Amino acid sequence: MIEQIQTGADAERLSDQYNRLLGREPKLITWYVPTDAAAQRKAFLAGEIENPDHTYGKLEKVDFEGNIDHITTLGELIQDHSDLNPKFSSVYEAFASNYAAKTRLARLAHNYKQAKEPTEKARIRAEYMRLNIDLYGAPDERTYQSLLQEKLSAINAVDYSPRGQAIRDELFDLVDFDESAEKIDRFQPSKETVEWMHEVADSLYGGMLARIPDRPTFTVHETQAIFQSIINEEFGEAAADWTVDVEPAKSINVKSTEKRIVIPHDRGNLSRAAIRGLVVHELGVHMLRAVMGGETDLDPLRQGLSDYYDAEEGLGVVMEQALLGKFKEAGVGHYITAGLAYFNNLDFRGVFEAKWRLSVLENAADGRVISELDIAKAKKTAFGATMRSFRGTDELPWFKDLAYYNGSVGVWRHLETIKGDDLMFMFVLMGKADPAKIEHQRVMYETSTY
């Protein structure tokens, strides 16, 4: 296999080999979609099963060994390419290593689902969690306790109806609540930094936002037209081959490898405020950093350097907040879900039972009576949130979504260190990298633009 790849790649440009490596991207989100989701959700919510046991049809069809072999071989070919600038060697090496690691994680998820012997499952569990943490980090216990205790303290202070009091007692039986525990402070940016970033967002995105008509709501096709107009008029020739498509999809997202933005065909009407946020987040961060990265002599800046993801998602959230001039912690729910599984050792059912009670009690914070409809809605939402964390194995938490909290806080921390320095801020946008990482800063300093 390796010789065949090498023979076919002798005359290939470095960019061609890199594009072939991109074709081997491990698509965990797609692979972790169960084929029997509706049936399992129905049985779980009806109490017919203790925990879901999904079938992951796409995961079962993946050729893990073949993918890893191709990733490794293409990585080696890139390292040996005569056109490779030695100063960027580590960038491509880390890129290939990241792809291989994520493929191994998916293989471990598949093997865990297939394992029957307790000792074998325990071995795979330990290996999966080690690699999971290597790739995405683990929740910080003090941060988790601070976030959870803040919610529990607020719930403890409400004068609920008898039904609400019973649900609160059940919640406190599931998770520890110490009324006398000392409050743990968490990071938040200074007022000066938030104000500076508000000015930056107004200046940076003013032209894009001005192209949104002054109407209350927009259909998906009207949203498509707005996005395409912004791309054509505000990005110009740099994004001449970018398109906006309406098609079946889970969410609005930027596919930088394909140079297109996808809008779900069944997405309901969007408010003007929602459109403004999407323009800033999707076009003003995800697309803009891809386009600017593509203008450099380092291809991975278009798709993302290794370990860039937290900063990418974090910056999208931060720029939405900057536009509004208001800081707010993002991804708190995801963080608490991870913490419940990791620190409280709760399984799928345990996390779900805590999550729906948290949700229904927070929504009834005014002390109103909690109805059966309220509980049903909370359970449906809690199932989705729990499934999002446990997808792939149904038993082991996947820490990918920690990026929403860690990423936004990390970007705000970085902005706090450079506040007022507009030149340093441009490095935040020049490609898909983490500007707070020294090694990523070095790479961006050493790139050239076409």
Q: Quick check: is 341 in a domain?
A: no
Domain shared by 204 and 300, yes or no: yes
Q: Quick check: is 342 in a domain?
A: no
pLDDT value of residue 11: 54
What is the rounded CA–CA span in Å between residue 92 and residue 88?
7
Nearest one of 274, 288, 312, 270 to 207, comparing CA atoms: 288
What is the rounded CA–CA span in Å between residue 24 and residue 117?
32
R_g of the chain, CA atoms, integer Å: 23
Tokens of 144: 């988790």
Domain shared by 28 and 109, yes or no: yes
Q: Quick check: is 334 in a domain?
A: no
Domain shared by 115 and 26, yes or no: yes
Domain shared by 179 and 223, yes or no: no
Domain shared by 127 and 96, yes or no: yes
Instruction: State the first-to-last Cα distance of the chain, in angstroms, to the nearest integer.
Output: 36
Q: Quick check: is 339 in a domain?
A: no
Tokens of 244: 């906006």
pLDDT value of residue 79: 96
- Domain that includes residue 365, residue range: 141-186+348-394
Query: In one letter, which amino acid is 392?
Result: G
State how many domains the chain has: 3
Residue in the block written with tokens 């690699």: 131
Domain shared by 89 and 171, yes or no: no
72, 105, 136 - which closes a domain = 136
pLDDT value of residue 9: 46
- Phi/psi at 47 (nearest 5 deg)? 80, 15
Q: Quick check: is 285 in a domain?
A: yes
Cα separations (Å) of 274 from 26, 225, 268, 280? Answer: 31, 15, 12, 10
Tokens of 354: 């805590």
70, 101, 136 - which closes a domain = 136
Domain shared by 322 and 430, yes or no: yes
Q: Quick check: is 337 in a domain?
A: no
Domain shared by 315 and 373, yes or no: no
Domain shared by 374 and 249, yes or no: no
Q: What averages of pLDDT result for each successive group of 10 residues across the chain (450 residues)?
A: 45 88 94 96 97 97 97 96 94 96 98 96 98 97 95 94 95 89 90 96 96 96 97 93 93 91 95 96 96 93 92 94 95 97 97 98 88 96 97 98 95 94 88 92 85
Tokens of 326: 């208001």
Yes or no: say if 252 and 278 are a contact pair by the CB < 8 Å rule.
yes
Domain shared by 178 and 201, yes or no: no
Domain shared by 317 and 438, yes or no: yes
Domain shared by 322 and 442, yes or no: yes
Q: Quick check: is 343 in a domain?
A: no
Q: Quick check: is 211 in a domain?
A: yes
